[in-house]
Chains A and B, each alone.
Chain A
Amino acid sequence: MDTNDSLRVASLWHLMHAISQQLSPTTGCSEIELLEADTFDLHIFQSLTGTKLFVVCEPGTQHMEALLKVIYELYTDYVLNNPFYETKIPIRCELFDINLTQAIQKDRVALLGR
């Protein structure tokens, strides 16, 4: 998916999220955390500031919430502390990419037990 597609999908999701908050059948429910489909799972993490992080993974993958928290930490460290990053543009920070792939590799290794 290229940048434009990601932006389009993300804005779609933002809309769905806002609508779902109003339509929730159970009381006291604030937001969607997990979307399960046939071929994928979509986990969402929302920070206190309203920033949303998504992970699309194979159905039934465990420990995605922990991974999302780790990614959120990486985001605050390497993206927000970067003086050359402007808000609301696609992230192009080298350090963030390197650490992100490392975190996912570590997670994959831990999951597969190798």
Chain B
Amino acid sequence: MIGVGKIKQYSNILEKPLSKGKQEVSLSAFAFLFSELVQYNQTRVDNIAELGRRLEDAGYAVGARVLELLCHRDKGNRRETRLLGILSFVHSTVWKVLFGKVADSLEKGTEHEDEYMISEKDLLVNKYISIPKDMGTFNCGAFVAGIVRGVLDGAGFPAVVTAHFVPMEGLQRPRTTILIKFAEEVLQREARLG
């Protein structure tokens, strides 16, 4: 019979099902591309804060798309409405898809009600990067902070997300912490929902 065993041809690219895609990408290729991203932005800014902001904006675009993709692919088009729900989504699912493992820890800030921290001993984007001494506290993890901000914003939880180095005893290199500070309206909504 003609046509048996033939792959179904789609007339329109929009009708093709979303594939899982390649699960693995070369780490060297990514490190090289990311290093070029940082260098490209470095030549176009005047100060370090601006560089951090640009990296964050780049990450924001990634975060928005990752949220859409994961909601469709892994969660069956359901969306999170609770704070802890979206935080554990970021901490496990998003991290697993982007970096191949869940984040090291998720903690609630002790000083303020609206602060949460995701910590990682060795952030993948920082794996091959050594910050020179004269750049102070700049962290290329600002890219990852941007991704988290993109995911949270897209899900309806506006927040300010920053990346910090936290020195730890017993570890040669400082730990990286992504600090998430939620907007007032998120906390009010959370309180209303009980």
Residues of A participating in the B interface, judged by any CB pair closer than 8 Å: 77-78, 80-84, 92-96, 98
Q: Cβ of A82 and Cβ of B35 under 8 Å apart? A: yes
Q: Cβ of B132 and Cβ of A84 under 8 Å apart? A: yes
Q: Cβ of B128 and Cβ of A77 under 8 Å apart? A: yes
Q: Mark B119-139, 1 if CB is under 8 A from A, else 0.
A: 000000000111110010000
Chain A hits for B37, CB < 8 A:
83
Contact of B28 among A81, A83, A93, A98 (CB under 8 A): A81
Residues of B participating in the A interface, judged by any CB pair closer than 8 Å: 28, 31-32, 34-39, 42, 128-132, 135, 140, 172
Which one of A77, A81, A94 has the highest number of Cβ atoms from chain B below 10 Å of its Cβ?
A: A81
Q: Cβ of A81 and Cβ of B128 under 8 Å apart? A: yes
Shortest C-beta distance, B43 to chain A (Å), equals 11
Chain B hits for A95, CB < 8 A:
128-130
Report the nearest B residue to A84, measured CB to CB: B132
Chain A hits for B172, CB < 8 A:
98
Shortest C-beta distance, B184 to chain A (Å), equals 36
Q: Kindly list 18 other residue pairs between chains A and B, CB separation below 8 angstroms, not including A81-B35, A81-B129, A83-B35.
A: A81-B31, A81-B128, A82-B35, A83-B36, A83-B37, A83-B38, A83-B39, A83-B42, A84-B129, A84-B130, A84-B131, A84-B132, A92-B132, A94-B131, A95-B128, A95-B129, A95-B130, A96-B130
Chain A hits for B35, CB < 8 A:
81-83
CA gap between A93 and B37 in the complex, in Å: 19
CA gap between A78 and B37 in the complex, in Å: 16
Shortest C-beta distance, B142 to chain A (Å), equals 13
Shortest C-beta distance, A10 to chain B (Å), equals 22
